[in-house]
Amino acid sequence: MAEFVYRSVILFVLVFLILQSSGSHGQMLPAIFVFGDSFVDVGNNNYLPLSLAKANFPHNGIDFPSRKATGRFSNGKNIVDLLAEKVGLPSPPPYLSIDSDSSTSYLWGVSFASGGAAIFNTTSNPLNTQSIPLWQQVEYYLKVHDHLTKQLGSAHAQKHLSKSLFFIVIGSNDILAYSRSINQNIPPKKYVNQMTTLLKAKLKILHTHGARKFMVVGLPPVGCCPAQRIQNETRGCREDTNTWTVMYNEALESMSKELKSELKDMSYSYSHTYPLIHGFIQDPASNGFKEVKTACCGLGNLNAQFPCLPTSTHCSNRTDHLFWDLYHPTEAASRRFIDNVFDGPPQYTSPVNVRQLIAL
Ligand SMILES: *[C@@H]1O[C@H](CO)[C@@H](O)[C@H](O)[C@H]1NC(C)=O
Ligand SMILES: *[C@@H]1O[C@H](CO)[C@@H](O)[C@H](O)[C@H]1NC(C)=O
Ligand SMILES: *[C@@H]1O[C@H](CO)[C@@H](O)[C@H](O)[C@H]1NC(C)=O
């Protein structure tokens, strides 16, 4: 009993402090909730016994503060960590790592993202027997929403969530599946529209459950990742994949606009990832890179015939490479991305940058 009272007092004080401080002292917003794929997985897949999309072994994490692999597909931090750093929050923990009974842990946000996750149920990486698909990530969020509502009370929870950031990074695995000829009986335009229609329905569910500020991240030039370049004899980008990626990005930006016009109290910042990363590829030197084609960690052509495994080789200088492994950026590239969309010039974010979105 005493312990229960003690814990309740601690919880009350914590919640009080968090509600008082959000937005004023250091931290710019109360919480970040992350939905997406391996670009933003912070370790959920470590908890999926059958998943092959894992990064909880070396050389991943070689430049992480702990120097250990955490499940992030990176040499160091990923874009979630770097965004959290910018706003003064701890990096949102993996949802599957949290014991929901004991927890104040949802208060600063949580990541539902999972390597291999896709918008479509069927196009999660076929090699990947297990990941948390988008629909499941949204179901998990509904549980967190319930938990916060019980913990803070309905009005406070609503206020807390309305100032929080909902970070959405998904779609690459659906495009990669299409590039492996999965669903190519569907014309590309129709395929990308189905993607955004499904995503829109999910964002509406989040909105019904408190979400008001969305950071919607467009896809990078997927056809330029090392895994796609080795499918081109000249090692150029796979142009068909890039064409579908651009189509998807256009559909994604339009969908975000539509959503805002339908839900008046919702705001978003759309990141123009494609032109930003394409700029790095076209002019590596002025963006601080030396190598934008070959993965730092892997084996074979462009280090992209095998993933980054403990037996793979890795480059000595991770700050001059765009790609860490056959699909994912280095921490250095992720940092440049976040810097550009957080405070960035209007050509990389619309209608507002992330700092402006947070301040709304
Ligand atoms: C995906 O699978 C879930 C669970 O089986 C189901 O509820 C949902 O309707 C499916 N979504 C689509 C788009 O097929
Ligand atoms: C392969 O790369 C070259 C540039 O090096 C490009 O012109 C060509 O269209 C690419 N081929 C395919 C199939 O994407
Ligand atoms: C690594 O690359 C960066 C960017 O090109 C360069 O500034 C730095 O000096 C390099 N570090 C080492 C140890 O070579």
Q: Residue 25 above 50 pLDDT? A: no
| Across 188-210, average pLDDT | 98
Q: Which amino acid is at 265?
A: D
Ligand 3 atom showing the smallest separation from residue 317 Cα = 1
State pLDDT tens for residues 112-146: 999 999 999 865 555 556 899 999 999 999 999 99
Cβ neighbours, 10 Å, residue 327: 24
Q: Residue 44 above 70 pLDDT? A: yes
Q: Which helix (H) or strand (E) holds 282?
A: helix 273-282
State pLDDT tens for residues 317-348: 999 999 999 999 999 999 999 999 999 899 99
| Across 63-91, average pLDDT | 95
Q: Residue 103 above 60 pLDDT? A: yes
Please, is 102 exposed, middle or buried when counting C-beta atoms within 10 Å of its C-beta (0-12, 13-18, 19+)? exposed
**287 and 280 Cβ atoms separated by less than 8 Å:** yes
**219 and 175 Cβ atoms separated by less than 8 Å:** yes
22 within some domain: no
Q: Which domain holds residue 239?
A: 30-98+106-156+164-359
Q: Tell me, what's the pLDDT at 8?
A: 55
Q: Residue 56 above 50 pLDDT? A: yes
| Across 78-100, average pLDDT | 94
Measure Cα distances from 178 to 83, 84, 149 in Å: 30, 32, 40
For ligand 1, atom 7, the nearest C-alpha belongs to 135
Q: Is residue 22 very low, low, confident or very high in pLDDT (cuts 50, 70, 90)? A: very low
User: Ligand nearest 228 Cα, by number?
Assistant: 2
* CATH code, 321: 3.40.50.1110
4 within some domain: no
17 within some domain: no
| Across 19-26, average pLDDT | 51
- Mean of pLDDT over the chain: 91
Structure tokens at 32: 């970040």
**230 and 307 Cβ atoms separated by less than 8 Å:** no
Ligand 3 atom showing the smallest separation from residue 318 Cα = 1
330 within some domain: yes
213 within some domain: yes
For ligand 2, atom 6, the nearest C-alpha belongs to 236
Q: Is residue 58 very low, low, confident or very high in pLDDT (cuts 50, 70, 90)? A: confident
| Across 22-29, average pLDDT | 65
Task: Tell me how far the alpha carbon of residue 193 lies from the centroid of ligand 1, in angstroms.
Answer: 17
Q: How many domains does the chain have?
A: 1
9 within some domain: no
Q: Tell me, what's the pLDDT at 183?
A: 80
348 within some domain: yes
Which residues surround ligand 1 with Cβ inside 6 Å?
Answer: 121, 135, 198
Q: Tell me, what's the pLDDT at 132?
A: 92
Phi and psi (nearest 5°) for 124? -55, 145
Task: Tell me how far the alpha carbon of residue 349 lies from the centroid of ligand 3, in angstroms.
Answer: 29
191 within some domain: yes
Task: Tell me how far the alpha carbon of residue 326 lies from the centroid of ligand 2, in angstroms.
Answer: 18
Q: Is residue 187 very low, low, confident or very high in pLDDT (cuts 50, 70, 90)? A: very high
Q: Tell me, what's the pLDDT at 12?
A: 56
User: Ligand nearest 135 Cα, by number?
Assistant: 1
Q: Which of 292, 320, 330, 331 to mutate to test the pocket of ligand 3 (most atoms within 8 A of CB)?
A: 320
Nearest of 135, 131, 157 to residue 144 by alpha carbon: 157
CA–CA distance, 130 with 50 (Å, rounded to integer): 6
Which residues surround ligand 2 with Cβ inside 6 Å?
Answer: 232, 234, 236, 238-240
For ligand 2, atom 5, the nearest C-alpha belongs to 236
Percent of the chain surpassing pLDDT 70: 90
Measure Cα distances from 94 to 13, 17, 45, 205, 241 in Å: 25, 23, 9, 21, 30
Q: Is residue 11 very low, low, confident or very high in pLDDT (cuts 50, 70, 90)? A: low
Q: Is residue 54 very low, low, confident or very high in pLDDT (cuts 50, 70, 90)? A: confident
| Across 210-236, average pLDDT | 98
As a residue count, the chain comes to: 360
Q: Tell me, what's the pLDDT at 104?
A: 75
Q: Tell me, what's the pLDDT at 102?
A: 63
